[in-house]
Amino acid sequence: MYNVAIVGATGAVGEEFLRVLEEYDFPIKKLVPLASARSVGKEVEFRGESLKVKELTCDVFKEEEIDIAFFSAGGSVSAKFAPCAVEAGAVVIDNTSHFRMDPDVPLVVPEVNPDDIALWNKKGIIANPNCSTIQMVISLAPLHREFNIKRVDVATYQAVSGAGKKGMEELFEQMRAIFNFKLDKKVEEREVFQYQIALNVIPHIDKFMDGGWSREELKMVNETNKIMHSKIKVAATCVRVPVLRSHSEAISIYCEKPVNVERAREVLANFQDVKVIDNPEKNEYPMPIIATDTDYVYVGRIRKDLYDDNVLHFFNVADQLRVGAATNAVRIGLKWIEMEGEAFLKGKYGK
């Protein structure tokens, strides 16, 4: 059993962590919810109990004898406090982008590259990939094994939950204003997105970098290849849409071998945590309202290119707060316990 901290416990992902840890029956001796000084005194619910939120400080990990720390409070918070947690003898599972491309930090999607967890001890940190990348690689992995993917073109339809609780509230407030015919006032009050998000789509997530690519788009390029140990060419267009908490992706794969739709459906359906919904004749395909609050990547609209036998197109959807964040991190934690837990406890507590 482990002492577990959630850093960012009052946030959108933090709240999901509490639910997922409970649902997965994570072996917790003590759970410590941490957030900024603003949240001290707030309470969160875990396994039917109210737990008081504590302030994140460098010392809290030692004071609370934390073994596993899930971080989801932004990159700068991880940069500053993850080393404190490691110093205090904890393994950090970090949901931010801060350590993802560090060669000494494994970047893990347990369905795809669980063995990379063995490298955790280089820095004491395991990184949880970007949400859009997680759901994409879960659907790419079985197809890559079958058809050998050389290139991926992807356009995302990303929910506002990716911008945290404030992003969800901004969409909600704007929608409410629309129904009250008061949109102008609320548009002026927007804080999170570059433009009004209600009844709009915004082809801009994270900062723009060289060549007109956004940072979010480059995360999908670099993280995909780190996770899959591949050199796949990836071109992403990341778009924010007025959906609350499930991301969708239209994906085209260019393969070395000719593709086959039936075989693609079969290998996807047999892959861990994937559900194929692909009956166009019955109007059945994946959508955010199907994926929300579940732990699966839904894949459908699978079809062969009209011109090229080696190209396959499909659509995938997954809950951003769960598959794209909390659930993936909890699955990393469980896999780490299975692979390393006994040796860790023996080394730390001598038992």
* Nearest approach, Cβ of residue 34 and ligand A2P (Å): 7
* Nearest approach, Cβ of residue 53 and ligand A2P (Å): 7
Phi then psi for residue 144, to 5 deg, are: -65, -45
Binding residue (CB under 6 A) for ligand A2P from 74, 75, 83, 89: 74
Residues 295 and 317 sit within 8 Å (Cβ to Cβ): no
Nearest-5° angle of CA 158, CA 159, CA 165?
Answer: 135
Q: Which of 84, 98, 131, 255 is catalytic?
A: 131
245 assigned ligand-binding residue: no
171 secondary structure, DSSP code: H
The helix (H) or strand (E) run that includes residue 71 is strand 68-71
Distance between CA atoms of 318 and 249, rounded to whole angstroms? 9
Which range in 89-97, 160-168, 213-221, 234-242 contacts ligand A2P by CB under 6 A?
160-168
Q: Does 56 bind ligand A2P (CB under 6 A)?
A: yes
Residues 303 and 314 sit within 8 Å (Cβ to Cβ): yes
Q: Does 145 bind ligand A2P (CB under 6 A)?
A: no
Residue 61 falls in which region: left (phi positive, over 0), alpha (psi -120 to 50) or beta: alpha
Q: Does 60 bind ligand A2P (CB under 6 A)?
A: no
Please list, residue by residue across 299-325, b when 16 or more beta carbons sit within 10 angstroms of its beta carbon and e when fewer do.
bbebbbeeeeebbbbbbbbbbbbbbbb
Q: Does 19 bind ligand A2P (CB under 6 A)?
A: no
Q: Does 165 bind ligand A2P (CB under 6 A)?
A: yes
Q: Does 112 bind ligand A2P (CB under 6 A)?
A: no
324 assigned ligand-binding residue: no
246-255 vs 149-157, strand pairing mode: antiparallel
- Catalytic site includes residue 229: no
Phi then psi for residue 294, to 5 deg, are: -125, 170
Which range in 4-12, 119-127, 133-141, 226-234 contacts ligand A2P by CB under 6 A?
4-12
* Nearest approach, Cβ of residue 165 and ligand A2P (Å): 4
Residue with tokens 């406890």: 345
Nearer Cβ to ligand A2P (9/152): 9
Count of residues touching ligand A2P (by CB under 6 A): 18
Q: Does 248 bind ligand A2P (CB under 6 A)?
A: no
- Catalytic site includes residue 131: yes
Structure tokens at 89: 């003898």
Structure tokens at 144: 């890559």
Residue whose Cβ sits closest to ligand A2P? 11
Nearer Cβ to ligand A2P (224/320): 320
Q: Which residues are catalytic?
A: 131, 247
Give the binding site for ligand A2P (CB under 6 A): 8-14, 35-36, 38-39, 56, 73-74, 77, 164-166
